[in-house]
Structure 1
Amino acid sequence: MFTRGVVLPVVLALTFAGLMNPVAAGADPTDYTLTVDSTGRGATIDRTMYGVFFEDINRAADGGLYAELVQNRSFEYDPADNASYTGMTSWAPTGGAGTAQVVDDEARLNERNRRYLRMDLRGGEYGIANSGYNSGIRVEAGKLYDFSVWARAESLPLTVSVTDPAGQPLTDMLRLQVRGDRWAKYTGTVRARSSSTTGRLTLKASGTGTLRLDMVSLFPRDTFKNRPNGMRADLAGKIAALKPGFVRFPGGCLVNTGSHYGYTAPDWERKRSYQWKDTIGPVEQRATNANFWGYNQSYGIGYYEYFQFAEDIGAMPLPVVPALVTGCGQNRATDDPALLQRHIQDTLDLIEFANGPATSTWGRKRAEMGHPAPFNLTHVGVGNEENLPNEFFARFTEFRKAIEARYPGITVISNSGPDDTGATFDRLWELNRGANVAMVDEHYYNSPQWFLQNNQRYDSYDRNGPKVFLGEYASQDNRFYNALTEAAYMTGLERNADVVKLASYAPLLANTDYVQWRPDMIWFNNHTSWGSTSYETQKLFMTNVGDHVVPSKASATPTTVAPIAGAIGLSTWATSASYDDVNVTAANGSSLFTDDFSGNDSRWTKSGRGSWAVSNGAYVQSDQAAENTMVTAGDPAWSNYDLSVKATKLAGREGFLIAFGVKDTGNYYWWNLGGWGNTVSAVEKASGGAKETLVSNGTRIDTGKQYDVRISVRGRQVELFLDGQRWGGFTDDKVAEPFRQVVTRDTKTGELVVKVVNAQDTAARTKVDLGSRVRVGSTARVTTLQGQPDDVNTAYTQPIQPRDSRFSGVANTFTYTFPANSVTFLRVQAR
């Protein structure tokens, strides 16, 4: 996943720049027709179509799905990974006669777990306490918690308990005696006396001598499926309730080798590459590694646990391995043939680990971990969102060739880059089609309007070409309106189930205290969890898929199309730039606006971000750290005009941005020249604060060079010129259709599943015609999600929840009124 500059909308609307929903709030119901060919058969829908994508972002693993309550349990945190880290992060001395320091010497636990805590005791009692994640460690009265630690000392007593921040006990006290100056594992259990979300795991020793501690762990006894080293029960349960067909893991950007931190080889291999072999075996022998998203990951959830979790919830495992080409905004590729071959061999070994007999090298390791039977792996993804299409595909080809030679039954999945359109997307699809790749992973995060406008996206895909794995998608917020537009889009995914074989909303999990990306499907803190509005729509679709599509057609909503209209703007992103000679000219040649900055900037409205000032006859933004600094001028009613400006990048990571069609701070277009670290230039459209890309290429911007920029707006068509040469153009005339539907058949129950999304503020009174060639039951089972567009599910209230009911007016032809802002599933007996 890599989308920069997402601004969450304050007000959601179904309108933008003249593409209007004609139905006003509170108006009479809109009339529709829905015709179903009840005896017809469309695309078969695979059981695995809908799944989940797990990535360790937003503290999704440690502090989240992984039930471990202790943060930095092995004292491996380091400022090289995060400037705020030390070996004692989340730990604090409790006072007394002694000292504690994190050391790395020959007394370490093992080579992958190098650092440990050395406590030198000088008589009396001395200890340390761990604060866990969020506000502390959560314990629940009456529940059991399993403690373990690796320790060594000549002979010293150690007490263990969970206390409140003031040191008062929340659990029974566990007493251990550490004997022998060799590492040994000590275990025990404590029972919570009272409930708290701010607990501290407190370890105290007494006497004189040296005590060494490592891998300090506290697990709730109640994990998902009661597995040791297991998953947090409520989070895993919510995932299982989706009944996903697959689990994609361990991440997207997380798996890419390369330089998020600016490392070069071999550091990118040590710091950036997710190595599956580091994640198996005893947990005390697994490495702690820097995570792409800026924190550390313990690998307590490793490949074995991912495979096991997929099996536990009846899902297909779908691992993704690095292709040794950076993605997610980076542009680097390894040129080390030996390193490439090693990763290819690692992937072959991974398949053997998953599927090999217990007598094979890696199958034996799986069996030793407790699973002699194979995990039945069938799909492997190679790479994620690479921005260098030719370099990626050359390396992907080597992976594919080796995998198909050894394991011809494995589907090897390629990808199409980080967006739904653009030069990288087009080139990768060209390469994938030309090589007859089996499946291509698409990713995109777009505005709600985009999802309403692009329901037919896959209608025109080649039925004989590569299949689509929609591995990451979401509308850019967690309000119910976003979920409605995603649901509307999913009707198009199902209709094209012969092309779109797999689909997963992303990301899956977000810890409220460590949010790095939104929207997210499931939110949590250290004591509770809840599904977003998108979780509820995803769950409704995922648990009511059906076996095949039934052909159907609905009438459209009448629309009014107006020209692109709006003011103009100038902006920067982590860059200093200057602008001069801004001119706006109407189509008839008359001047609408001109500013050569020979005076002041009183005609420009500032957002409050950045440092804008007129300097030497130019308008300069001088703050290289500021992002989204847009200033605006002109009339929001302008249409059919030409905008010209001279722009110069002065310093910084990117280029400059020229805005047009500006309605307000959340609704505009801008030409982003030299964006994404000066790797891509694109026109982005913001609607309700959420962005989508309309056209892009690899144009870069040189520092110190003045560029002549011209944008021509005619109706809904836009042409863009750079230094007198046509750069590109687009026509933004897609209609945001709020009424979408698909019908599937559940062959086990004999029911038609009529799925209707009404993403507008008025009810949709619909004449449903099931045809005369079927016998229908008179009563339908109904499940409805309904609410206000701005509704958000939170820890305290979940306004968007499914409501079950029955409708007794079913006939071969009947009328049903679908509520405003709703998703409705009608299950109708039809034989």
Structure 2
Amino acid sequence: MPRTRPRSAPAIGLLTGALLAGALAAVPASGASAAEPADYTLTVDPTRTGPTIDDRMYGVFYEDINRAADGGLYAELVQNRSFEYAPVDHPSYTGLTAWSETATGGATGTARVVDDDGRLNERNRNHLRLDLDGTGGDGARYGVVNAGYNSGIAVEKGEKYDFSVWARTDRERGTPLTVTLHDASGEALAAPLRPTVRGDRWTKYTGTLTARADSTEGRLTVAAGGAGTLRLDMVSLFPRDTFKGRPNGMRKDLAEKIAALNPGFLRFPGGCLVNTGSHEAYEAPNWERRRSYQWKDTIGPVEERATNANFWGYNQSYGLGYHEYFQFAEDIGAMPLPVVPALVTGCGQNKATDDPELLERHVRDTLDLIEYANGPVTSTWGAKRAEMGHPKPFGLTHIAVGNEENLPDAFYERFAAFREAVEAEHPEITVIANSGPDDSGAGFDRAWELARASGVEMVDEHYYNSPSWFLENNERYDSYDRSGPEVFLGEYASQDNRFRNSLAEAAFMTGLERNADVVKMASYAPLLANTGYVQWSPDMIWFDNARSWGSTSYETQKLFMNNVGDEVVPSESSATPVAAGPITGAVGLSTWATSAAYDDVRVVSSDGEELFADDFSAGAGKWTEAAGRGTWTVEDGAYVQTDTAAENTLVTAGDPAWRDYDLHVKATKRAGREGFLVAFGVKDTGNHYWWNLGGWGNTRSAVEKATDGGKQTMIEDGTVIETGREYDIRIEVRGRQVTLHLDGEKWGSFTDDKVAEPFRQVVTRDKARGELIVKVVNAQQAPARTRLDLGDGVEVGSTARLTVLQGDPNAVNTADDRPIRPERSTLRGVDTVFTHTFPAHSITFLRVKERTP
């Protein structure tokens, strides 16, 4: 993830730039109405061959965000099973989070989470101590109840669930346990288990519960009878029916949806959690600190693995660790692609670790990881892999170092140490660098400069932008240097989960395939989102504790990933005529987690007419404030936003029809994390431009363009804002050109003249099936009546297999309603030249049988 604060909104317009912001369709310049078909041509040259497409072109990126692991893909049903939750994970957490005390038959006692000499092991330090009073009759029980995730533990009638717990007791005769699975009202969902804990040494006790009924509100109770001290740890309930039937395995429905994508690679384990936090090893005195994700913490017996404070604000158990990732990649036929820390933090932290010994250890850990994946069972780490039940090597070929580091010089200095060591011992391994958190800008350019200078084989790019950006940037990779480095597009998505987003992504993907000689791998992100713990959207697969469903982008990715082809067949299509207009709109002021004061706001037309002026001597009556967006007051003749926690506090003034004007404003930061947001070209709170001075934690500045809430960066630099200093800001808008001045000096300029083309296509060849795959995206409300010319020198069958995704651009797939799903049919009347109308708002894959005459 490139940012800790996705600035997204529920609806995003498709066509901007030269078109009106927020428009849903491109209307042909001839004046045809949106309901009438627009005419296009698509010409194919089957006698020429374009780039070869790698088998691993499309893959999946997995990061533990939105509770993607515990409570998600990792099938464990008990939350906080080892009592390791703590405030370092989340301020609300305690060791008993997700647990509550329970008693029956008059039993009493106390429950405490302790870290003492009686712990299970050094890495699993906390455990639950139950001091039993021995009150009540023989059947009296005192213990704890676990609530699971979301609404509770989900079980299915007739399915088996494997229970286990590590326990010890100081009671000489042993301590009887009663383990029950029941719903929130106490109704039994399975026959209870009744093991007896014997001895004061940690021992694992197991049993199987068979569900009598379906429930999504299950609870697991572990209660004890008698007197004395009982210690419990690693309380677990696992469905027997995991993906591929693997113990400690994956939740079946989620894993099956991922496998159905037919991914060429699996990138893991992140993401921001890889390169954030301490890079030190898990050892005293660092148990209570957030650590970067380090692979050696995550293998071995599950009860001996560490837990960690996840970057996204919760605890991660590491039950799903590196061995399980490698195994999962193998199970779904994907190439494993691990990411290791580079000792330069990213995701807004931007710090480099200057510790040669620590760097040396991480480089050694990376070499050990390769040995774990590929080494013989006679090697140190190959033997550990074999101990985990996989003597055969995993066949690792690629490894990525770092993730979204925004200090390119510091990153490449450390990256060189990793690359040199890996290439010396494992020349067969490709070491992947990255270009930071954005699609452009000074940091991006410097990272690519260093990558080319050092001869890096592959660079990982990440970006999350508005649908308009994806429609405008189909040709992004047309101009990339064919001599390298190659591109791994490791994270991308447009900002929201509606079908309009999928249409824009699909249009962009036709450009990825056309440039398959440069873009070797690509993966949408994020992969998973638990509805009860969402921290980021968009997401590909959504789920709760019992159900899962694919978003519209899942259906789009699945269609592309299962219909890639072996090579690109050169083709051309006509474009959508559009008429460019000037940037128009009112003006605005905003802040983000910052208190700032604004004064002397003036808007002057290009011919010198004053359109607007406000020195706030008469209050702020000229400005429109949105409810719940900060606290605005007039203080000492300035307009002040005082809430340092409020985000996007935009207030607006003026006429949405304004064009060709200069906006003048004076701004002073009073307190908070960032600087100023001065808006222009404002249509409404979701459609505008703003100059973000001191954004991203006051690390850089940029002009962002918002289209129905989704944003893209137009220009940026490293300007930061000082507290207490008054800044003189001037923004000059002329046509579609914008020039920005700060304290009388020109800061930068840009021209917003890209067209968000709604009609995109690519053609590939499936050699095994002898088919041309014609892929067409029509991201507008007008049907696209298209003359297809499949070229000379080829004969085609009279029918073709047709798969279409189409629907309302605002449609969202949910657990109960899936309006966007593939429609399959047979198209008749196919010939070398024929006409086909691609529906409005559609993604179409046409498989045409190809026969050489």
Q: Match of 1:560, SS?
A: coil
Q: Aligned equivalents of 1:572 and 1:414: distance in 2? A: 34
**Compared CA separation, residues 190 and 543, structure 1 to 2 (3 A):** same
Q: Take 1:788 and 1:277, find their aligned partners in 2: how far apart are those partners?
A: 47
Q: Which residue does 2:70 correspond to in 1?
A: 62
- Find the counterpart in structure 2 of residue 739 from structure 1: 759
Q: Distance in 1 between matches of 2:271 and 2:677?
A: 28
2:27 maps to what in 1? 22
RMSD of aligned alpha carbons: 1.4
- Comparing 614-623 and 818-827, the one that deviates more: 614-623
Tell me, what secondary structure is at the counterpart of 2:524? coil
SS across alignment from 2:423? helix
2:265 to 246, 252, 269: 246
Aligned to 2:256, the other structure's residue is in SS state helix
1:5: how far off? 4.7
Q: State the alpha-carbon separation in 2 of the partners of residues 465 and 166 from structure 1.
A: 62
Equivalent in 325, 331, 336 of residue 306 of structure 1: 325
Which of 653, 673, 677 is 1:633 aligned to? Answer: 653
Distance in 1 between residues matched to 2:157 and 2:698, nearest whole Å: 54
Once the two structures are superposed, the pairs formed by residues 131-530 of structure 1 within 5 Å of their partners are 131-153=147-169, 154=171, 155-258=174-277, 270-530=289-549
What corresponds to 2:54 in structure 1?
46
- 2:84 aligned with 1:76: yes
Contact 2:14 2:756 in 1 (8 A): no
Contact 2:493–2:538 (Cα < 8 Å) also in 1: yes
Partner SS state of residue 702, structure 2: strand
Q: Do the aligned partners of residues 259 and 736 (structure 1) sit closer, same or farther apart at CA in structure 2, a change above 3 Å counting?
A: farther
C-alpha deviation, 1:671, in angstroms: 0.3
Instruction: State the alpha-carbon separation in 1 of the partners of residues 367 and 273 from structure 2.
Output: 20
Question: What is the CA–CA distance in structure 2 between the aligned matches of 1:107 and 1:15, rounded to whole Å?
Answer: 64
Instruction: Tell me if the contact between 2:69 and 2:320 (Cα under 8 Å) persists in the aligned partners.
Output: yes
Q: After superposition, give the CA deviation of every residue in 1:666-710 in whole Å (9 maximum; x if it has no partner).
A: 110000000011001000000111011111111010111111111
Mark the CA change 1:762 to 1:488 in structure 2 (over 3 Å): closer, same or farther.
Answer: same
1:583 CA drift (Å): 1.2
Mark the CA change 1:193 to 1:287 in structure 2 (over 3 Å): closer, same or farther: same
Shift in Å at residue 79 of structure 1? 1.6
Q: 1:692 aligns with which of 694, 700, 712?
A: 712
How far apart are residue 125 of structure 1 and its match? 1.6
Structure 2 residue 145 is matched with structure 1 residue 129: yes
The aligned amino acid for 1:6 is: R
Show CA shifts across 1:124-150 (max 9, x none). 321211001001001111110000111
CA-CA distance at 1:267 after TM superposition? 5.7
2:125 maps to 1:114: yes
Q: Which digits, 9 at most, give the CA deviation of each residue in 1:131-179, with x for residues without a partner?
A: 0100100111111000011111241111212111222211111121111
Moved more, 384-393 or 747-756: 384-393
Residues 224 and 122 (structure 1), Cα distance of their counterparts in 2 relative to 1, 3 Å cut: same
The answer to whether the Cα contact below 8 Å between 2:56 and 2:265 also exists between their aligned partners in 1 is yes
Asked if the contact 1:127/1:205 (under 8 Å) is kept, the reply is yes
Q: 1:461 to 1:509 in 2, by over 3 A?
A: same
Change (3 A) 1:375 1:433: same
One-letter code aligned to 1:230: G
Superimposed CA distance per residue, residues 326-353 of structure 1 (whole angstroms, 9 cap, x where no aligned partner): 1011121111111111111111100110
Preserved CA contact (<8 Å) 1:257 1:323? no
Q: Deviations over 1:709-765 (max 9, x none)?
A: 111111111111111111111111000100000000000000000000000111100
Q: Tell whether the 8 Å contact from 1:445 to 1:476 is kept in structure 2 after alignment.
A: yes
Q: What displacement does 1:204 show? A: 1.6
587-596 vs 308-317, which moves further: 587-596
**1:2 is matched with which residue?**
2
The answer to whether the 8 Å contact 2:12/2:710 transfers is: no
Tell me by how many angstroms 1:266 deviates.
Answer: 8.3
- Is 2:668 aligned against 1:648? yes
Give secondary structure in 1 for the equivalent of 2:376.
coil
Greater shift in the superposed pair: 83-92 or 3-12:
3-12
Amino acid at match of 1:379: H
TM-score normalised to structure 2 length:
0.96
Range 796-805 or range 155-164, more displaced = 155-164
2:746 to 698, 709, 726: 726
Question: Normalising by the residue count of structure 1, what TM-score does the alignment of the two structures yield?
Answer: 0.98
Equivalent residue number for residue 783 of structure 1: 803
1:340-387 deviation per Cα after TM superposition (whole angstroms, max 9, x unaligned): 111111111001100011100101000010000100001111111111
Give the residue type in structure 2 aligned to 1:824: T
Residue matched to 2:563: 544
Please say if residues 17 and 661 of structure 1, whose CA atoms lie closer than 8 Å, have aligned partners that are also in contact.
no
SS at match of 1:700: coil
User: Quick one: distance in 2 between partners of 1:796 and 1:404?
Assistant: 51
Q: Percent identity?
A: 72
Output the CA distance in 2 between the equivalents of 1:259 and 1:489.
37
Compute the displacement of 1:816 (Å): 0.5
The amino acid of 2:782's aligned partner reads T
Distance (Å, rounded) in 2 between the aligned partners of 1:121 and 1:114 = 22
Query: How far apart, CA to CA, are the structure 1 residues paired with 2:324 and 2:794?
Result: 48
- Residue type of the partner of 1:9? P
Counterpart of 2:736 in structure 1 is 716
What amino acid is aligned across from residue 212 of structure 2 in structure 1? R
Amino acid at match of 1:213: L
Partner Cα separation in structure 1 for residue 55 and residue 758 of structure 2 = 28
Gaps in structure 1 of 5+ consecutive residues: none
Identify the residue that residue 679 of structure 1 maps to in structure 2.
699
Q: How far off its partner does 1:258 sit?
A: 3.5
- One-letter identity of the residue aligned with 1:469: F
Q: Distance in 2 between matches of 1:738 and 1:84?
A: 47
Indicate if the aligned counterparts of 1:63 and 1:133 stay in contact, CA closer than 8 A. yes
Matched to 1:302, the amino acid is G
Q: 2:682 pairs with 650, 662, 677, which one?
A: 662
C-alpha separation in 2, matches of 1:18 and 1:803: 31
C-alpha distance in 2, partners of 1:176/1:732?
70
Aligned counterparts of 1:699 and 1:639: Cα–Cα separation in 2? 27
SS in 2 for 1:41: coil
Could you give the per-residue CA deviations for residues 647-677 of structure 1, whole angstroms, max 9, x where no partner exists? 1111111111110000111110000000011
Structure 1 residue 27: Cα displacement: 2.2
Cα distance in 2 between the residues matched to 1:710 and 1:828: 57
Preserved CA contact (<8 Å) 1:675 1:682:
yes
- Which residue pairs with 1:92 in the alignment? 100
User: Compared with structure 1, are the counterparts of its residues 743 and 341 closer, same or farther at alpha carbon in structure 2 (3 Å cutoff)?
Assistant: same
Tell me how far 1:257 sits from its aligned partner.
Answer: 3.3
Judged with a 3 Å threshold, the aligned counterparts in structure 2 of structure 1 residues 167 and 9 are, in CA distance, closer, same or farther, namely closer
Q: CA offset at residue 9 of structure 1? A: 3.3
SS at 2:801 equivalent: strand
Amino acid at match of 2:651: V
Once the two structures are TM-superposed, the CA of residue 15 in structure 1 deviates from its matched residue by: 4.4
The alpha carbon displacement at 1:614 in A equals: 1.5
Unaligned runs of 5+ in 2: 135-139
The aligned residue for residue 581 of structure 1 is 600
What is the alpha-carbon distance in structure 2 between the residues aligned to residue 88 and residue 616 of structure 1? 50
1:752 to 772, 777, 801: 772
Determine the C-alpha separation between the residues in 1 that align with 2:397 and 2:497.
33
